[in-house]
Amino acid sequence: MKLSDLFYIYTGSKLDFGKQQLSEDGINFVSRNSNNNGVVGKVVLEDSMKTYKKGDITVPLGGSYLLSAFVQDEDFVTAQNVDVLRPKRKMNDIEKWFYCYILRQNRFKFSAFGREVNKYIQDIEIPDNIPFWVYNMKIKFPQTNNKDVKVNISTKDWKTFNYTDIFNIRKGFYNKKPSHNINGDIPFLGATEKNNGVTEYYSLEDIEKASKTGDENNAPIEDKIFPKNAVCVTNNGSVGYAFYQSTEFTCSHDVNPLYRKDGVEFNPHTGLFIVTVIMEDRYRWTYGRKWRPERMIKSTIKLPVDKQGNPDWNFMENYIKSLPYGDRI
């Protein structure tokens, strides 16, 4: 069966997010993104905009995340190169999620600047029937008391700080990913945008044996294991991605672990706030413009401040707690 046999395929709203007026009370804007269900923000709805319905499926046709399909849980508009699928028959969310999965499994057949998916999307082959186990899946969604809470935030009065004023910036350890023989429970962080930065799990024994470059010049274990409650930032590969680490870890030199300079540990709420702010600056960095420690020490970050002009860590914590599902952290 072809995709067009089961779905109506629409070309999307074709809007430029950068030209839209943002509004917390606006309509969801879906772009070519693999995070947050593809939603990059809320924009003011204008009469000229082509809108789509809750329950429709969005499919990016270009960029690094082509065919990262999502079922939308609110009405929405889209960026350019985002198609919208609407089932031709009645279909529940579990069935839609199954077809999103099928679309993602077809990603290897296409590329953004080669065999473009927009020319072939209607002909993508999908199963004639959904396997019985799909219908037997039991999916339990987390509950939150904050779901209907409206949270306002303004960066107008935030202050710019040097990274070195706020963070102790440490260098990652390994130049070469160690080999290992035992499945351990210590996360190894590398230059990835996925899985909270974790690329492998190591045992303490394997970490003790492995040197920085794979030669015989080993180092003390305290140089290899980093304390918990860190914000870790990739400086190479997938540059500029940040992750909060709640447990001790080891990492490659493609990762900069950050700790609060005031000696107070990050907690999950302040850590996630800082992660989000850092990620907003990710556009500044590329594989050709790496964010190595020598460049990071010259970088700046804009943060909310208290009456004394210091970073307002209480505000950061309470803001994250107030968000939908913030009470689940």
Q: Where are the domains of the chain?
A: 3-135, 159-328
Q: Are 190 and 252 in contact (CB under 8 A)?
A: yes
Please compute the mean of the pLDDT values over residues 152-164 and round it to a whole number: 91
Inform me whether the pLDDT recorded for 21 exceeds 70: yes
Q: Cα 185–188–190 angle (5° rounding)?
A: 160
Which residues make Cβ contacts (< 8 Å) with residue 75, sequence separation at least 6? 27, 28, 51, 52, 53, 54
Q: Cα 97–57–49 angle (5° rounding)?
A: 160
Inform me whether the pLDDT recorded for 142 exceeds 70: yes
Please tell me the predicted confidence (pLDDT) of residue 243: 97
Looking at CATH, the fold of the domain delimited by 159-328 is given as Adenine-n6-DNA-methyltransferase TaqI; Chain A, domain 2 (3.90.220)
Please compute the mean of the pLDDT values over residues 111-132 and round it to a whole number: 86
Inform me whether the pLDDT recorded for 32 exceeds 70: yes
pTM for this prediction = 0.71
Please tell me the predicted confidence (pLDDT) of residue 14: 93
| More confident position, 114 or 166 | 166
Q: Are 275 and 213 in contact (CB under 8 A)?
A: no
With a pLDDT cut of 70, the percent of the chain lying above it is 97
Exposed, middle or buried, 129 (CB in 10 Å: 0-12/13-18/19+)? Answer: exposed
Q: Would 3-135 and 159-328 be classified into the same CATH topology?
A: yes
Q: For the domain covering 3-135, report its CATH number.
A: 3.90.220.20
Please tell me the predicted confidence (pLDDT) of residue 134: 86
pLDDT tens digits, 65-113: 889 999 999 999 999 999 999 999 999 999 999 999 999 999 888 876 6
With a pLDDT cut of 90, the percent of the chain lying above it is 63
Sheet strand arrangement including 183-189:
198-202, 183-189, 250-251
Strand pairing of 22-30 and 76-78? parallel
